[in-house]
Amino acid sequence: MKTQISTKTSEKLADIEAFNEQIRTEGWSLKRKIIKQKQLDRLDLRNSTWQDVDVTLTSFTEGAFTQSTFEGVTFDHVDLSHARFADCTFIRCTFNDTKLEEASFSKCRFIDCTLKQSNLDGTRIADSTFQNLSADQVEWRFAKLTTVQFSRCTLNEVAFTDGEIDHAQFDDCTLIRSGFSNSKLNATTFNIKGETVNFVETTCTDVTISGQGAIHRLNLADIKGARITVQNLAWSELFAMSFAQVDHFRLENVKLRYASCLDASFTNTIFKDVHFDFIQFDETRFNETRFENVTFSNEIQFDKARFENTEFINIQKGDHLKISFKDTVYSKAPPF
Q: C-alpha dihedral over 202, 208, 210, 215, to 10 degrees?
A: 10
Q: C-alpha dihedral over 213, 219, 220, 221, to 10 degrees?
A: 160
Residues 268 and 180 in one domain: yes
Give the domain CATH number at 250. Answer: 2.160.20
> C-alpha distances in angstroms, 16 versus 27, 40, 224, 283?
14, 7, 49, 64
Pairing of strands 124-131, 144-151: parallel
Domain boundary among 104, 127, 150: 127
Map residue 74 onto helix, strand or coil: strand
> How far is Cα 281 from Cα 304, in angstroms, rounded to an integer?
9
Domain boundary among 107, 127, 147: 127
Residues 49 and 190 in one domain: no
User: Does residue 335 have a pLDDT over 90?
Assistant: no
- Residues 41-45 have a mean pLDDT of 97
> How far is Cα 97 from Cα 238, in angstroms, rounded to an integer?
33
The sign of the torsion formed by the CA atoms of 12, 18, 21, 22 equals negative
Other residues' Cβ atoms within 10 Å of the Cβ of residue 135: 25
Choose between 216 and 247: higher pLDDT: 247
Residue 270 CB-half CA count within 13 A? 13
User: Does residue 203 have a pLDDT over 90?
Assistant: yes
Is 68 part of any domain? yes
Determine the pLDDT at residue 336: 66
> How far is Cα 143 from Cα 326, in angstroms, rounded to an integer?
45
Asked if 182 and 200 touch (Cβ cutoff 8 Å), the reply is yes
Q: 95: domain range? A: 1-127
Residues 120 and 164 in one domain: no
> How far is Cα 103 from Cα 86, in angstroms, rounded to an integer?
11
> How far is Cα 93 from Cα 72, in angstroms, rounded to an integer?
5
The sign of the torsion formed by the CA atoms of 76, 80, 81, 87 equals negative
Determine the pLDDT at residue 290: 95
Q: Write out pLDDT tens, residues 136-182.
A: 999 999 999 999 999 999 999 999 999 999 999 999 999 999 999 99
Residues 287 and 238 in one domain: yes
Give the domain CATH number at 14. Answer: 2.160.20.80
User: Does residue 82 have a pLDDT over 90?
Assistant: yes
- Residues 84-111 have a mean pLDDT of 98
- Give the chain's mean pLDDT: 94
- Residues 109-119 have a mean pLDDT of 98
Is 287 part of any domain? yes
- Residues 253-278 have a mean pLDDT of 94
> How far is Cα 160 from Cα 135, in angstroms, rounded to an integer?
12
Asked if 184 and 160 touch (Cβ cutoff 8 Å), the reply is no
Residues 72 and 116 in one domain: yes
CA 129, distance to chain mean position in Å, is 13
> How far is Cα 142 from Cα 162, in angstroms, rounded to an integer?
5
pTM of the model: 0.93
Residues 170 and 309 in one domain: yes
Determine the pLDDT at residue 330: 83
Please count the structural domains in the chain. 2
Choose from 109-118, 253-262, 324-333 the range with maximum mean pLDDT. 109-118
- Which among 252, 296, 289, 299 has a CA at the least distance from the CA of 272? 252
Determine the pLDDT at residue 18: 92
Choose between 11 and 63: higher pLDDT: 63
- Which among 12, 9, 11 has a CA at the least distance from the CA of 33? 9
Using left for φ > 0, alpha for ψ between -120 and 50, and beta otherwise, residue 22 falls in alpha
Residues 333 and 220 in one domain: yes
Determine the pLDDT at residue 305: 94
What DSSP state is assigned to residue 99?
Answer: B
Residues 28 and 86 in one domain: yes
Backbone angles phi, psi at 333, to 5 degrees: -145, 100
Q: What percent of the chain has pLDDT over 70?
A: 99
Domain boundary among 127, 152, 171: 127
Residues 165 and 120 in one domain: no
Please report, as a single letter, which amino acid is at residue 118: S
